[in-house]
Structure formats: structure tokens, C-alpha cells
């Protein structure tokens, strides 16, 4: 945990991947193996990393297994999953794209058609913990987009797969669930095997090996985001509750040993109080992730004024931004780079992880400067149909011919010119 300045952050903010070369080479070899050997290689890695007794048939969960997982839940867990599903569904339902048509003044006609991606592969982490919330966050927008085939890969730990995760897959209607994780799961989606169908695009967070596989395979398969370790930046003021801020920071640090956490404030006094509270509460948390993350990647940043607070926040472009003050319209103008923004002390980031309704698959490692969180938009694509007639050609044929010849593309020019002559 360090108290630093704006200049220090600008100079020292580092990429999440400190083992790029080592991880990259391991992932590259796994990808090649899956591409060449399919199920044989897939089973090899499942036995090595997840379940030494696994057979290829064990990789596929049946619909009955998913249904049984849901039925085995306690009433309390069922209610929690249903509430989360309901709220996530409601929020994402507002994002549906509608096809439309229009014509311009020269009678050119345009038809914009939105279609779902046909085959998507979801990745849900599961080696160290259970993440049924990620199942809901990825599958619900896919189903709203009407994706015909929604597949999911989830790793097991010592041959055991989270019942909650399987139950969430049942509740949200995932079509096929495979018990496999890591870079090998992403490679299987990219190339297809006898057991796992080739996907058109893959979605969901994972460890550094999963993230690296997505990066290496982009182009062979579409990807959602180049996701890295989780991040939160809290903007605190002298009225902020230090205990609440401390828990907001520690909650994010729980995710990953490499999770990055920041507190920015104009008040040195509140920064010190928050630092003290973090140290006290840290002693009572069981996960070692938290201690490692706080020790190496927690930064308390003193800003000179409000303008500098926004500059620091936009530079970091955090996955989660939590502003400990009431909403005002100036925030819409001043905050331009962030995955999701939580406003007010009563809106902790944990609500966004589970039940507020917004998506928790968000851009990290400064990628919020050019990308957004997961939405229904990511599961659809648009195709444009163009009609042109005599009126259109009369208006734009000659400029098209002129521009084509300026670029030295004579066949382009002639393909328009021949139609102009015949018109």
C-alpha cells in the first residue's frame, strides 16, 4: 500500500501482465496442440490441470445434470440467482437493436439488418472459486440477442465443478456446457474439436493464460475484451466514511493477487484514515489474494484539486470507478474513461458484480479508453443492404469514377462507367 502523487502514477502505471513472455510461450504451445490433436489434446490438459480421472465423455454436462444442480440448491440460493437473473435481464433488455430502412435524397435505399452471432463460447472461471454471476452476465445478453447456440466452458477443481455455476447455466438457458478451462478451452472454441463445436466469438473473463489465449487467437475467433486483473478506483472526500472505502478497496482486492486498487482524494487526512482502516480490516480477511494485492497494487493518491482528480481517473481508466459523493451532471462531462461508474456511498461495486443489473464483464488495464463493458451489442452484428437506381447514378457516378482513377483503380472506374453509359 503506497501513498503517491499524480506524477508517480503517470510514470509507473504498469500493464497487468508481468510474465508476458513465459505465459505467451506456454499458451502458444497449448494452442498448437489443440489445433493439431483436438479432443486428444483437450483431454490431456483436463487430466493435467483439473481431473486426473477424466474421460472425454465427462467433459460434456447433460441437460439433466444442469437441471439437477439447480434443483439441489437451497431456497435462499435459488432466490438469489433468480433475483440476479431478473435484474440483469431487465437492464440488458433495453439494449435490443432494431433493424431499419431509409432512403436518401437521390433515392438510394439502405436496409440495416441486425442479426445475432450464430455460435458463441462463454468462459466462466472456476479453478479457484465459483462464479455463477459470470454465467448470468455473459449468457443473458446472448439469449436476449437470440444467439442460436450458446456454449459455456468452466474448469473444475480436483474434478469438482461448482453446483451454483451449473445451476446458473440451467436458469439462463445455456445450450451446451463443457467441463474444461484454461487456454485449451479458448483454443477448442477457436478451432473446434469433435466434442466442442467451433465458436464464432468467445466471451468472459479468465486468468492470464485465458487472456493470453484470447489475444493470440483474435482473428481466428472474435473476442469480447482483452481482460486482465480486476481494478477499482475510489474518489473520496473529507466526508467519506473511511471504513466503507476500506471495504470497497478490499472487496476488489479479493478477486485476484494482481488486482489493482486506487483511492484518490484532495484530503490527506481521509487518505490516512482509509489507509489505517484497510490495515485493520485486512487482518480479518481469510483470502491470501487480498494481502498480496493490497501489499503490491494498492495506491492512495493525493490530488491537488478537483480537476486533477478527474485527470488521474481518466488516465487510469479504471474497470470500476466509485465516486463517494452525490450524482451531479458535471460527472457526465468530467468522467470519460471508465468501465462502470458507481455514484454515492450507497452504491458499492459489489452490487454491480451481482444484482444491480449492469454487466460486470468490463474493460481493464486502461482499455476503457477505447472500449465498453459487455452488452447485447457484443452478440449481434449488422449487415447493410444497398439499393441504387438511375437517380443515384446520375448524381454520384462521375465523382465515383473520378475518385477511382485518382487512386489508380481503373476497373473500379469502369465498373461504374459502364452502368452510367447504359443508364
User: Hey, which residues are catalytic here?
Assistant: 319-320
Q: Quick one: which of 207, 89, 205, 211 has its CA closest to 141?
A: 89
- The per-residue b/e assignment along 90-109, b for 16 or more CB within 10 angstroms, e otherwise, is ebbeebebeeeeeeeeeebe
User: How many angstroms separate the CA atoms of 343 and 103, rounded?
Assistant: 42
Tally Cβ neighbours within 10 Å of residue 84. 23
Query: What residues are paired with 46 via a beta bridge?
Result: none
Which residues have CB under 8 Å from 31's CB, separation 6+?
183, 187, 190, 213, 216, 217
The end-to-end CA distance of the chain, in Å, is 74
- As a whole number of Å, the CA-based R_g of the chain is 25
Write out the E strands in 214-272. 222-223, 231-235, 260-265
How far, in Å, are 257, 289, 294 from residue 282 at the CA level?
A: 14, 11, 9
Residue 80 belongs to what H/E stretch?
helix 75-93
Query: What residues are paired with 299 via a beta bridge?
Result: 2, 262
DSSP state of 347: -
Which residues have CB under 8 Å from 281's CB, separation 6+?
243, 246, 247, 250
Strands 320-323 and 298-302: unpaired
List the grid coordinates of 87: 435484474
Map grid coordinates 476488489 to a residue: 252
In this structure, are residues 233 and 260 in contact, taking their beta carbons and an 8 Å threshold?
Answer: no
User: How many angstroms separate the CA atoms of 45 and 51, rounded?
Assistant: 9
Largest CA distance in the chain: 83
Amino acid at each position: 500500500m503506497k501513498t503517491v502523487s499524480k506524477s508517480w502514477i503517470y510514470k509507473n502505471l504498469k500493464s497487468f501482465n508481468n510474465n508476458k513472455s513465459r505465459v505467451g510461450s506456454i499458451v502458444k504451445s497449448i494452442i498448437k496442440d489443440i489445433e493439431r490433436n483436438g479432443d486428444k489434446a483437450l483431454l490431456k490438459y483436463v487430466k493435467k490441470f483439473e481431473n486426473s480421472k477424466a474421460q472425454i465423455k465427462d467433459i460434456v454436462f447433460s441437460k439433466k445434470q444442469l437441471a439437477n444442480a439447480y434443483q439441489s440448491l437451497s431456497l435462499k440460493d435459488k432466490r438469489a440467482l433468480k433475483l440476479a437473473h431478473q435484474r440483469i435481464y431487465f437492464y440488458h433488455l433495453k439494449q435490443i437493436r432494431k433493424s431499419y430502412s431509409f432512403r436518401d435524397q437521390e433515392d438510394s435505399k439502405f436496409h440495416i439488418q441486425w442479426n445475432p452471432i450464430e455460435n458463441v463460447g462463454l468462459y466462466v472461471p472456476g479453478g479457484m472459486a465459483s462464479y455463477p454471476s459470470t454465467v448470468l452476465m455473459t449468457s443473458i445478453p446472448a439469449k436476449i440477442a437470440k444467439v442460436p447456440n450458446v456454449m459455456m466452458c468452466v474448469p473444475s477443481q480436483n474434478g469438482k465443478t461448482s453446483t451454483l455455476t451449473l445451476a446458473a447455466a440451467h436458469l439462463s438457458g445455456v445450450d451446451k456446457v463443457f467441463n474444461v478451462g484454461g487456454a485449451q478451452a479458448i483454443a477448442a472454441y477457436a478451432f473446434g474439436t469433435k466434442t466442442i463445436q467451433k465458436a464464432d466469438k468467445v466471451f468472459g473473463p479468465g486468468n492470464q493464460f485465458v487472456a493470453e489465449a484470447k489475444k493470440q487467437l483474435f482473428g481466428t475467433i472474435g473476442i469480447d475484451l482483452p481482460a486482465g486483473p480486476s481494478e477499482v478506483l475510489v474518489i473520496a472526500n473529507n466526508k467519506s466514511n473511511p471504513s466503507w472505502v476500506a471495504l470497497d478497496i478490499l472487496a476488489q482486492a479479493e478477486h485476484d493477487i494482481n488486482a489493482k486498487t486506487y483511492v484518490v482524494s484532495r484530503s490527506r487526512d481521509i487518505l490516512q484514515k482509509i489507509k489505517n482502516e484497510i490495515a485493520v480490516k485486512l487482518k480479518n480477511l481469510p483470502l491470501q489474494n487480498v494481502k498480496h494485492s493490497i501489499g503490491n497494487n494498492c495506491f492512495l493518491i493525493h490530488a491537488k484539486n478537483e480537476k486533477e482528480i478527474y485527470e488521474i481517473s481518466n488516465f487510469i481508466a479504471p474497470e470500476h470507478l466509485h465516486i463517494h459523493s452525490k450524482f451531479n451532471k458535471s460527472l457526465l462531462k468530467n468522467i470519460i474513461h471508465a468501465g462502470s461508474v458507481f455514484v454515492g456511498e450507497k452504491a458499492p461495486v459489489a452490487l454491480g458484480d451481482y444484482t444491480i443489473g449492469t454487466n460486470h464483464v468490463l474493460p481493464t488495464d486502461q482499455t476503457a479508453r477505447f472500449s465498453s463493458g459487455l452488452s447485447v451489442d457484443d452478440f449481434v452484428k449488422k449487415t447493410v443492404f444497398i439499393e441504387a437506381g438511375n437517380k443515384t447514378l446520375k448524381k454520384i457516378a462521375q465523382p465515383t469514377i473520378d475518385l477511382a482513377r485518382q487512386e489508380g483503380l481503373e476497373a473500379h472506374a469502369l465498373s461504374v462507367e459502364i452502368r452510367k453509359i447504359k443508364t
